Amino acid sequence: MSIAPAARKNVVVFRKLPDDLLERIRTWHDVTVADPRSADDLPRFREALQDADGLIGSSFKLGAEELSRAPHLRVISSISVGVDNYDLGYLKQRGIALCHTPGVLTETIADTVFALIMAASRRLVELSDHVRNGRWTRNIGEDLFGWDVHGKTLGVLGFGRIGQAVARRAALGFDMPVVFHDPFDVQVPDRLAGYAVRASFDEVLERADIVALTLPLSDETRGLMDAKAFASMKPGAVFVNGSRGAIVHEDALLAALDSGHLRAAGLDVFTIEPLPQDSPLRTHARVTPFPHIGSATHETRRAMAELATDNLLRVLDGEAAISAFDLSKV
Ligand code: DGY
């Protein structure tokens, strides 16, 4: 079935979508697929913006300058939970709806954060490389021992859906006391009552053996983890980041690792992604880097793409999105 030409809108798909979802959008609207991250596609992407009513995609910065090329734009449907790629003030001012994909990726990102905790503390990637590179010629010695995760105090910075899912894994699976900080008045879920306690930002840093960052990137959180914050962490603590790289001063983190104040870091996100070849974080002995795999499983990426497609089609059809980002507080 298709709809009358007048009701058809122009949609720009700026990140790969599964074929069936692309076809679903094509049933109702006229679609241009153009990936602005490819230099070849960028001119076509920009040309398509001129008539675009809706955009769907992720992983590309859409600031005021870029969006000013799209005078008819009504909705951006982001295939991500994070919305830091968009100029929120500009979207609000122009009345452009922004949708994102919270909820469907919570457990997968929490798995990733927990994998960072395990990998950094137990040196899993380094030790796996030890085997792969043919260096396992006799039993490993103390110099390659790791650090227990179970029973350690976990500090969670950002106690939203993802922070709580990480805390659940830690408290109920690994017998870890949890101390958390969140800028909002978040309630401790029943399952974590008695395991998780609220504290100030400074207290979390001072009390935790392992600190996990699960805050969104915003003007308030940019650069939050600076030299002072790392100095406040316990000597020998582990730091992991599964949210956004720009919340961390990477030079300050490197200094805290180099001085031996921090034991190790597990990082899924970086200020510049992909991580530049010359970044010391790529090969640092105390850093376990992942290539931003937070939500990267077949099931979750599929669920995100479906939700983003539903959001887009609804808004273009004049209905409320399933998961609109609330721009009213911006
Ligand atoms: C998001 O959706 O914002 C995550 O970073 C994806 O991994």
Residue 181 catalytic?
no
From 244, 286, 301, 314, the catalytic residue: 244
What does the block give as tokens for 263?
Answer: 């034991």
- Compute the distance from residue 258 Cα to the ligand 1 centre, in Å: 29
Task: Give, using CA atoms, the residue closest to atom 3 of ligand 1.
Answer: 82
From 161, 249, 263, 292, the catalytic residue: 292
Question: What is the spatial distance between Cα 305 and Cα 80, in angstroms, rounded to a whole number?
Answer: 9
What does the block give as tokens for 210?
Answer: 């392992």
Q: Do domains 10-104+298-329 and 106-289 have the same CATH topology?
A: yes
- Compute the distance from residue 301 Cα to the ligand 1 centre, in Å: 10
What CATH homologous superfamily does 106-289 map to?
NAD(P)-binding Rossmann-like Domain (3.40.50.720)
Task: Give, using CA atoms, the residue closest to atom 2 of ligand 1.
Answer: 80
Inter-residue contact 273 to 282 (CB < 8 Å):
no
- Residue 292: closest CA among 81, 98, 63: 81
Tens of pLDDT, residue by residue over 2-37, are 556 569 999 999 999 999 999 999 999 999 999 999
- Compute the distance from residue 241 Cα to the ligand 1 centre, in Å: 12
3-state secondary structure of 205: helix
Question: What is the spatial distance between Cα 40 and Cα 258, in angstroms, rounded to a whole number?
Answer: 41
Burial grade of 326 (CB within 10 A; 0-12, 13-18, 19 or more): exposed
pLDDT value for 290: 98
pLDDT value for 5: 58
Inter-residue contact 101 to 308 (CB < 8 Å):
yes
Q: Which residue has the tokens 């582990």?
A: 238
Question: What is the spatial distance between Cα 311 and Cα 56, in angstroms, rounded to a whole number?
Answer: 9
Q: List residues bridging with 99 in a β-sheet.
A: 77, 324
For a mutational test of ligand 1's pocket, the pick from 61, 78, 79, 80, i.e. the residue with the most ligand atoms closer than 8 A to its C-beta, is 80
Eight-class DSSP state of 292: S
192-194-197 Cα angle (round to 5): 80
Q: Which amino acid is at 12?
A: V
Q: Which atom of ligand 1 is nearest to the CA of 78?
A: 2
Rg, C-alpha atoms of the chain: 22
Question: What is the spatial distance between Cα 162 and Cα 61, in angstroms, rounded to a whole number?
Answer: 23
This prediction's pTM: 0.95
What does the block give as tokens for 252?
Answer: 């300050």
- Residue 98: closest CA among 113, 108, 88: 88
- Compute the distance from residue 133 Cα to the ligand 1 centre, in Å: 32
Residue 130 catalytic?
no
Question: What is the spatial distance between Cα 216 and Cα 222, in angstroms, rounded to a whole number?
Answer: 9
Question: What is the spatial distance between Cα 66 and Cα 42, in angstroms, rounded to a whole number?
Answer: 11
Tens of pLDDT, residue by residue over 299-323, are 999 999 999 999 999 999 999 999 9
Q: Which atom of ligand 1 is nearest to the CA of 294?
A: 7
Task: Give, using CA atoms, the residue closest to atom 6 of ligand 1.
Answer: 295
What CATH homologous superfamily does 10-104+298-329 map to?
NAD(P)-binding Rossmann-like Domain (3.40.50.720)
Q: Which amino acid is at 186?
A: V
Q: Which atom of ligand 1 is nearest to the CA of 101?
A: 2
For a mutational test of ligand 1's pocket, the pick from 58, 83, 101, 105, i.e. the residue with the most ligand atoms closer than 8 A to its C-beta, is 105
Residue 319 catalytic?
no
| Residues near ligand 1 (Cβ within 6 A) | 80-82, 105, 294-295
Domain ranges of the chain: 10-104+298-329, 106-289
- Compute the distance from residue 2 Cα to the ligand 1 centre, in Å: 33
pLDDT value for 79: 98
In order along its 330 residues, the chain shows pLDDT tens digits of 455 656 999 999 999 999 999 999 999 999 999 999 999 999 999 999 999 999 999 999 999 999 999 999 999 999 999 999 999 999 999 999 999 999 999 999 999 999 999 999 999 999 999 999 999 999 999 999 999 999 999 999 999 999 999 999 999 999 999 999 999 999 999 999 999 999 999 999 999 999 999 999 999 999 999 999 999 999 999 999 999 999 999 999 999 999 999 999 999 999 999 999 999 999 999 999 999 999 999 999 999 999 999 999 999 999 999 999 999 989
- Compute the distance from residue 101 Cα to the ligand 1 centre, in Å: 9
From 23, 65, 220, 273, the catalytic residue: 273
